[in-house]
């Protein structure tokens, strides 16, 4: 992970703050008004003390006037503080919203390779926790710095006006706490970066384990996964403990320095009053309040350094994600307006890792309406061909053409719209059954949805659900079976009726009887459409027009089912291995 400088991170954050700059300035203005109001109170409190001349000699009329003024100013100060905090909260929430939208948009535009190679839990942690850290740390910190500088200047001027010698003690001593805090911050910055990284790692591991808890229990691996979790959690604890140790000593140390200053001012003030260098005793009271107000910004600054350290570490993660290169833009490319279902793969080579060659010099010509089955052992490149056909990955060399057009020279959205795709891993989202079926055609009528579900063999089980087509599919679709999920995914494709279809182990989660029904429905759907069928169960592709037998990224045999069996080659061995002992 690349670590960016503080200035670079701040500039990137400001691009998200600028659209909400009015709210930011309102927050600052209200805060400054609150500071001015707070600075007026010690003046009148000093005057109020001076009305108490001796025992039994109090100017109650003047005292009442000062107390009323103090009350009014206090109410105004509280109102301004509330308005400042309210506007800052709005700014924080809006900025967080903008950054999260930018991250989600980025995830829709980065190459699929980035998603495949990243921990999904870590990405989620960046989108949620890291964004919160960035907005809270930077925006609150920036606000604290502006307010602190303004308060220091205002109070400094007032103190020198009241008594320059007492003011000099405060001005010289107060910054010592800030210097000490900066030194401590430098020590703790590395620990905060490690802490944030470990939080992301823990989120990624937790998400992976919770999602696959059934598999863990099935293999009795609870103890091993628990130990791994404890190790990661211990690393997080260690980093958190070290970082918070430094953070915890910064504030008390600054308060100690402030306490010493406070005592020194009280002593010097009393001494000056005894020697008649101070005309009014109320000045000492006012000065003690101003001394506290002068040192408070330094205390606040030491407190926000820990938050800023966390914000910097989180900002690196957020903006590293946002700086990931997008897919090659196709904004200036024409759309594929028509599709006759012809596909040509010419001299295609591709590998996920440059050091490990997968597909080399692949050639294939598919005519309209042909059913192309792709078979072979695990890792031979079957699903990789699907990724290339859909342009989830770009070929390293060669070309793939649809209806005579190179898919790299038309928009992805246009040529993908001509494909219908059913994967081995069925995907449904948290919505009603009818919304899931109509995912590719949101404006579909209810009759169209029901017809598609009947064709897929899903209508019968949908009718038995608690609310039928209005039943909500749970977040992980746990309230229906794996086979039912696949039926809904197949119905989704049957609804849009695309000219080309990709079936990647589409019936893998369906029982044999249901598979026969689905196969008949798929035969109807595939009629006249170009189809690519990836299958492990070779009995499902016996009627394919062409079977491509792959091994180590190459097509080693090609032909119809009976032709390949007659050859007695790799396909013959592969086919018969599925029926060994039967």
Residue 477: give its domain's CATH number.
Answer: 3.40.50.300
DSSP letter at 432? B
Q: Tell me how far the alpha carbon of residue 561 is from its chain's centroid.
A: 48
CA proximity to 570, closest of 540, 532, 544, 538: 538
Predicted local distance difference test score (pLDDT) of residue 75: 92
Residue 33 lies in a domain: yes
In a domain, residue 423? The reply is: no
Ramachandran bin of 559, using left for φ above 0, alpha for ψ from -120 to 50, beta for the remaining angles: left
Residue 53 maps to a domain: yes
Going residue by residue through the chain (582 aa), what tens digit of pLDDT does each one get?
A: 566 677 788 888 888 888 888 998 898 899 889 888 888 887 777 777 777 766 667 777 887 888 898 889 889 989 998 998 889 888 888 898 899 999 888 888 888 888 877 777 788 888 888 888 888 888 888 888 888 888 888 888 887 877 777 778 777 777 776 677 667 666 666 677 777 777 777 877 777 777 667 667 666 677 888 888 888 888 888 877 777 776 676 667 767 777 777 777 777 777 776 766 665 666 777 777 777 777 777 777 766 776 777 788 888 888 888 888 888 888 788 888 888 888 898 888 888 877 777 788 888 888 888 888 888 887 777 888 888 888 888 888 899 998 888 888 988 888 888 888 887 777 788 888 888 888 888 888 999 989 888 888 888 888 888 888 898 887 666 678 777 888 888 888 888 888 888 888 766 656 667 667 667 767 777 777 888 888 777 766 777 888 888 887 777 888 888 888 888 888 888 877 766 544
Residue 470 burial by CB count (10 A; 0-12/13-18/19+): exposed, middle or buried? exposed
Is this prediction's pTM over 0.85?
A: no
Assess if residue 446 is contained within a domain: yes
Tell me the three state secondary structure of residue 531.
Answer: strand
**93, 229: one domain:** yes
Question: Residue 474: CB partners within 8 Å, gap ≥ 6?
Answer: 430
Does one domain contain both 228 and 146? yes
User: In degrees, to the nearest 5, what angle opens at C-alpha 147 toward C-alphas 143 and 152?
Assistant: 150
Q: How far is CA 377 from CA 422, 550, 555, in A?
A: 20, 8, 12
pLDDT given for residue 581 in this prediction: 47
Q: Do 368 and 532 meet the contact criterion of CB atoms below 8 Å apart?
A: no
Beta carbons of 436 and 422 less than 8 angstroms apart:
no
Q: Determine contact, residues 403/500, Cβ cutoff 8 Å.
A: no
DSSP 342-385: -EEEEEEEE-SBTTB--EEEEEEEE-TT-EEEEE-STTSSHHHH
Q: Contact, 20 vs 135, CB < 8 A?
A: no
Q: Which of 288, 307, 322 is the last residue of a domain?
A: 322
Say if residue 368 is in the same domain as residue 439: no
- DSSP label at residue 501: E
Whether residue 486 is contained in a domain is answered as yes
1 assigned to some structural domain: no
Structure-token pair, residue 505: 């182990």
Token pair in block for residue 319: 């903006």
Predicted local distance difference test score (pLDDT) of residue 108: 84
Measured between alpha carbons, how far is residue 317 from residues 83, 96, 247 in Å? Answer: 32, 15, 22
Please indicate, yes or no, whether residues 50 and 181 belong to a single structural domain of this protein: yes
Strand-strand pairing, 343-350 and 57-58: unpaired
**Domain limits for position 384:** 328-418+499-582
Q: Using CA atoms, how far apart are residues 437 and 504, in angstroms rounded to an integer?
A: 18
H or E segment and range at residue 533: strand 530-534
Q: Look up residue 264 and give its two tokens.
A: 């020194």
Rounded Cα–Cα distance for residues 357 and 372 (Å):
24
Return the closest-CA partner of residue 500 out of 422, 573, 436. Answer: 422
Domains contained in the chain, number: 3
Please tell me what DSSP assigns to residue 327. P
Looking at the fold, whether 127 and 191 belong to one and the same domain comes out as: yes
Task: Determine contact, residues 315/378, Cβ cutoff 8 Å.
Answer: no
CA dihedral 101, 104, 105, 107 (to 10 degrees): 160
pLDDT at residue 83, rounded to an integer:
92
Residues 191, 292 within the same domain: yes
- Are residues 491 and 504 both part of a single domain? no
- What's the rounded Cα separation, in Å, for the pair 523 and 540? 11
403 and 526 in one domain? yes
Separation between Cα atoms, residue 307 and residue 137, nearest integer Å: 5
The pairing of strands 343-350 and 397-402 is antiparallel
> Of the candidates 263, 298, 322, which is a domain's last residue?
322
CA–CA distance, 262 with 139 (Å, rounded to integer): 31
Closest C-alpha among 577, 552, 505 to residue 376: 552
CA-CA distance, 102 to 332, in Å (whole number)?
22
Q: Which of 472, 497, 522 is the last residue of a domain?
A: 497
Burial, 580: exposed, middle or buried (Cβ in 10 Å; 0-12, 13-18, 19+)?
exposed
> Are residues 344 and 410 located together in one domain of the fold?
yes
Co-location of 292 and 218 in the same domain: yes
Q: In what order do the strands lie in the sheet containing 359-366?
A: 359-366, 343-350, 397-402, 405-406
Strand 419-422 versus strand 500-504 pairing type: parallel
Tokens representing 532? 């690519």
Helix ranges (DSSP H) in 117-139:
120-125, 131-134
Q: Are both 135 and 195 inside the same structural domain?
A: yes
Contacts of 462 (CB under 8 A, 6+ apart): 433, 453, 468, 469, 471
Alpha carbon separation from 287 to 44, 165, 171 (Å, rounded): 12, 11, 13
Give me the CATH number covering residue 290. Answer: 1.20.1560.10
Residues 184 and 140 in one domain: yes
Q: Is residue 368 part of a domain?
A: yes
Say whether 311 sits in a helix, a strand or coil: helix
Using the Cα atoms of residue 149, residue 152, residue 158 and residue 160 in order, give the sign of their dihedral: negative
Q: Helix or strand or coil: residue 502? A: strand
Burial tier of 110 (Cβ tally within 10 Å: 0-12, 13-18, 19+)? middle
Give SS3 for 4.
Answer: coil
| Residue 168 domain flag | yes
CA distance 582 to 579: 5
């Amino acid at each position: 992970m690349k670590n960016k400088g503080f200035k670079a991170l701040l500039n990137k954050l400001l691009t998200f703050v600028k659209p909400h700059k009015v709210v930011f300035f309102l927050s600052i203005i209200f805060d400054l008004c609150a500071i001015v109001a707070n600075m007026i109170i010690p003046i009148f409190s000093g005057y109020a003390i001076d009305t108490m001349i001796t025992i039994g000699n109090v100017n109650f009329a003047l005292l009442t006037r000062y107390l009323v003024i103090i009350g009014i100013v206090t109410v105004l100060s509280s109102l301004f503080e509330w308005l400042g905090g309210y506007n800052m909260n709005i700014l924080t929430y809006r900025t967080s919203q903008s950054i999260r939208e930018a991250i989600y948009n980025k995830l829709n535009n980065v190459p699929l390779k980035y998603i495949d190679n990243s921990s999904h839990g870590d990405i989620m942690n960046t989108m949620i926790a890291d964004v919160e850290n960035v907005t809270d740390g930077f925006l609150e910190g920036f606000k604290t710095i502006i307010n602190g500088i303004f308060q220091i200047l205002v109070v400094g001027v007032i103190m020198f006006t009241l008594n320059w010698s007492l003011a000099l003690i405060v001005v010289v001593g107060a910054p010592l706490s800030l210097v000490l805090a900066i030194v401590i911050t430098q020590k703790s910055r590395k620990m905060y970066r490690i802490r944030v990284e470990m939080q992301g790692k823990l989120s990624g591991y937790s998400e992976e384990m919770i999602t696959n808890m059934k598999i863990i229990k099935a293999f009795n691996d609870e103890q091993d996964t628990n130990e791994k979790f404890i190790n990661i959690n211990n690393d997080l604890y260690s980093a958190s403990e070290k970082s918070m140790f430094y953070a915890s000593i910064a504030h008390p140390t600054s308060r100690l320095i402030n306490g010493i200053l406070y005592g020194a001012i009280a002593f010097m003030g009393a001494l000056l009053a005894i020697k008649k260098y101070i005309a009014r005793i109320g000045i000492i009271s006012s000065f003690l309040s101003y001394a506290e107000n002068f040192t408070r910004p330094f205390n606040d600054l030491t407190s926000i350094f820990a938050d800023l350290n966390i914000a910097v570490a989180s900002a690196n993660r957020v903006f590293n994600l946002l700086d990931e290169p997008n897919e090659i833009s196709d904004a200036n490319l024409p759309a594929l307006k028509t599709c006759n279902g012809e596909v040509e793969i010419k001299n295609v080579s591709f590998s996920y890792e440059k050091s490990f060659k997968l597909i080399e010099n692949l050639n294939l010509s598919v005519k309209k309406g042909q059913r192309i089955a792709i078979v072979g052992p695990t890792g031979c490149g079957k699903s990789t061909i699907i990724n290339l056909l859909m342009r989830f990955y770009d070929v390293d060399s060669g070309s793939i053409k649809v209806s005579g057009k190179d898919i790299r020279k038309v928009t992805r959205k246009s040529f993908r719209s001509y494909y219908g795709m059913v994967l081995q891993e069925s995907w449904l989202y948290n919505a009603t059954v009818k919304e899931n079926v109509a995912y590719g055609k949101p404006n579909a009528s209810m009759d169209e949805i029901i017809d598609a579900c009947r064709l897929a063999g899903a209508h019968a089980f949908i009718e038995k659900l608690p609310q039928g087509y209005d039943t909500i599919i749970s977040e992980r679709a746990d309230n229906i079976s794996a086979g039912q999920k696949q039926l809904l995914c197949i119905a989704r494709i049957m609804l849009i009726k695309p000219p080309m279809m990709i079936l990647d182990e589409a019936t893998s989660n369906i029982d044999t009887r249901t598979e026969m029904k689905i196969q008949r429905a798929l035969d109807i759907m595939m009629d006249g459409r170009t189809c690519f069928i990836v299958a492990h169960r070779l009995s499902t592709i016996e009627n394919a027009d062409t079977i491509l037998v792959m091994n180590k990224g190459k097509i080693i045999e090609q032909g119809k089912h009976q032709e390949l069996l007659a050859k007695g080659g790799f396909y013959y061995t592969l086919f018969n291995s599925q029926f060994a002992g039967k």
